[in-house]
Chains A and B, each alone.
Chain A
Amino acid sequence: MLGQYLPLLALFVLAAAFAAGSFIASGLLAPRDPSAAKRAAYECGIVPTRETPERFPVRFFLVAMIFIVFDIEIIFFYPYAVAYGGLGVFGLVVIMVFSFAVFESFVYLIGNGALEWGPLKQVAGPAGAVSVQRTTGTTVRRVGLEDRGYAEGVGTEDADDTDEEAA
Chain B
Amino acid sequence: MILAADPLYGGDLLGDILITLLKAGVAFTFLLVAVMLMIWFERKLISDMQNRIGPNIAGPWGIFQTLADGIKLFFKEDLVPENADRFVFKLAPYLALVPAFLVFAIVPLGGDFNRKDGSDGVVSIFGHDTFLQVADPPMGILFFLAMSSIAIYGIMLAGWGSGSKYPLLGAVRASAQMISYEAALGLAIAAVVLQTGSLSTHDMVIDQAAGGYGGIIPNWNIVVTGFVPFFVFFIAGTAELNRPPFDLVEAEQELVGGFHTEYSSIRFALFFLAEFMNTITMSAIMVLLFLGGPAGPALFFPEGWWIGTFWFFLKLMAFLFTFVWFRATLPRFRYDQLMDLGWKVLIPISLAWFLLLAGLRLGDDRDWTYNETLAFMVGCIITFALLGGLLIGAINTARAERVREEADRG
A positions within 8 Å CB-CB of B: 1, 3-8, 10-12, 14-16, 18-19, 22-23, 25-27, 29-34, 38-44, 48, 52-54, 56, 60, 63-64, 66-67, 70-71, 74, 77-78, 80-85, 88-89, 92, 95-96, 99-100, 103, 106-108, 110-113, 115-121, 123
Chain A nearest CB, measured from B336 CB (Å): 4
Does chain A have a CB within 8 A of B373? Answer: no
Interface of A is mostly: helix
Known contacts: A81-B193, A82-B199, A120-B406. The answer to whether A15 contacts B398 by CB under 8 A is no
The chain B residue with its CB closest to the CB of A56 is B172
A92 touches B81 (CB 8 A): no
| Option from A6, A29, A113, A119 in Cβ contact (under 8 Å) with B75 | A29
Does chain A have a CB within 8 A of B216? Answer: no
The CA of A23 and the CA of B32, in the complex, are separated in Å by 17
A16 touches B135 (CB 8 A): no
The CA of A10 and the CA of B23, in the complex, are separated in Å by 9
Known contacts: A92-B359, A116-B398. The answer to whether A74 contacts B190 by CB under 8 A is yes
Nearest 9 A/B pairs, CB to CB: A3-B9, A41-B164, A117-B336, A111-B394, A15-B101, A10-B24, A118-B336, A7-B135, A74-B186
Chain B nearest CB, measured from A120 CB (Å): 5
B positions within 8 Å CB-CB of A: 1, 5-6, 8-10, 16-17, 20-21, 23-25, 27-28, 32, 74-83, 90, 93-94, 97-98, 100-102, 104-105, 134-138, 142-143, 162-166, 168-169, 172-173, 175-176, 179-180, 182-183, 186-187, 190-191, 193-194, 197-199, 256, 261-262, 265-267, 269-270, 335-337, 339-340, 343-344, 347-348, 351, 354-355, 358-359, 361-362, 365-366, 387, 390-391, 393-395, 397-399, 401-403, 406-407
A32 touches B77 (CB 8 A): yes
B77 touches A30 (CB 8 A): yes
CB-CB < 8 A to B340: which residues of A?
Answer: 115, 117-118
CB-CB < 8 A to A56: which residues of B?
Answer: 168-169, 172
4 new A-B contacts, CB < 8 A, other than A14-B101, A66-B343, A70-B183, are: A10-B24, A42-B261, A48-B164, A63-B176
CB-CB < 8 A to A1: which residues of B?
Answer: 5, 138
Interface centre among A26, A38, A99 (most CB of B within 10 A): A26
The CA of A95 and the CA of B190, in the complex, are separated in Å by 13
A11 touches B27 (CB 8 A): yes
Chain B nearest CB, measured from A116 CB (Å): 5
B97 touches A19 (CB 8 A): yes
| Option from B1, B17, B81, B135 in Cβ contact (under 8 Å) with A83 | B1
B351 touches A52 (CB 8 A): no
A43 touches B166 (CB 8 A): yes
B183 touches A19 (CB 8 A): no
| Option from A15, A27, A106, A107 in Cβ contact (under 8 Å) with B102 | A15
The chain A residue with its CB closest to the CB of B2 is A1
The CA of A84 and the CA of B104, in the complex, are separated in Å by 29
A82 touches B186 (CB 8 A): no
CB-CB < 8 A to A53: which residues of B?
Answer: 165
A41 touches B135 (CB 8 A): no
Chain A nearest CB, measured from B384 CB (Å): 10
The CA of A152 and the CA of B290, in the complex, are separated in Å by 67
